[in-house]
Amino acid sequence: MYRLLFCLLLTGGPFLLSAQTDPALLSAYSQVIPHYPDLYMGGQYRPAHRMMENSSLYKDHGYELGAVVVNGVEFRDQPIDYDVWYDVVVIINPIHRQLVILNHLKIDRFTLSDGTTFVRKEKGPGYFYHKNGFYRQITDGNIGLYCKHWKIFSKRKSIFDEFDKYVDQSRYFIENDGELMPINKKKDAFRVLGVNRKEVQPRLKQERVKYRRDKEHYLRILVETANLQEHD
């Protein structure tokens, strides 16, 4: 196994280590070569605005251990975080102890310490905030539910406010046949999914879910219902 891994390095490992490679081999590779070159190649990370009341990170818990899939290889227990403003994944380089921006084109997905998973979508819906294409995965199936997060810049409203701040923004998308479709209203989801309101109403009532009060839960129920209908 170790000889084979050494050969991979000599013959162009990044090219050979694709999603089709034996999972056992990929796992062994990530353990033997923890500092995989593609994992730490990128520009140095600097926050967009330093004098802010809050952070541009998705969850400002610090760089806790998560997982990232680079070129089909999963690396676990990596100190990563997600900068929503830039739409980039940031990692701590263990050698130089610097914050490095990972190449988004090589990232398939990443999972933060709290279990939140983001996936990269190459085919964007054609709007400004698609940026590098990272979407939070809510439901994964033939029909998927995703959420795009971004932040906008908010100026101080009065002289009593010490700093400017970021304001969180999000939009939900349903993916069907590889196409991400934005959901701006409740009726958009029913139109895209083709779900009968009467069929889904008993579960919505049982779980006491209202669209305006918990949009994500509501949409997740609709998408799960649509996936079940496809299997019937």
pLDDT in tens, 161-204: 667 888 999 999 999 988 999 999 999 999 999 998 898 999 99
What is the average per-residue pLDDT within 29-49? 68
- Both tokens assigned to 125: 């819906």
Contact 51, 90 (CB under 8 A): no
Summarize the confidence of residues 137-154 as an average pLDDT: 94
Check residue 20 and give its pLDDT: 43
The tens digit of pLDDT for each residue in 48-98 reads: 887 788 889 998 777 899 999 998 889 999 999 999 999 999 999 877 778
More confident residue, 212 or 96: 212
The predicted structure's pLDDT at residue 16? 35
What phi and psi values does residue 160 have, to the nearest 5 degrees? -80, -15
Query: What backbone phi and psi angles, to 5 degrees, belong to 211?
Result: -60, -45
User: According to the model, what pLDDT value does residue 192 have?
Assistant: 94
Residue 28 has pLDDT above 60, yes or no: no
Map tokens 């919505």 to a residue: 204
pLDDT at 54: 86
Whole-prediction pTM = 0.81
Taking every pair of Cα atoms in the chain, the longest distance, rounded to a whole number of angstroms, is 65
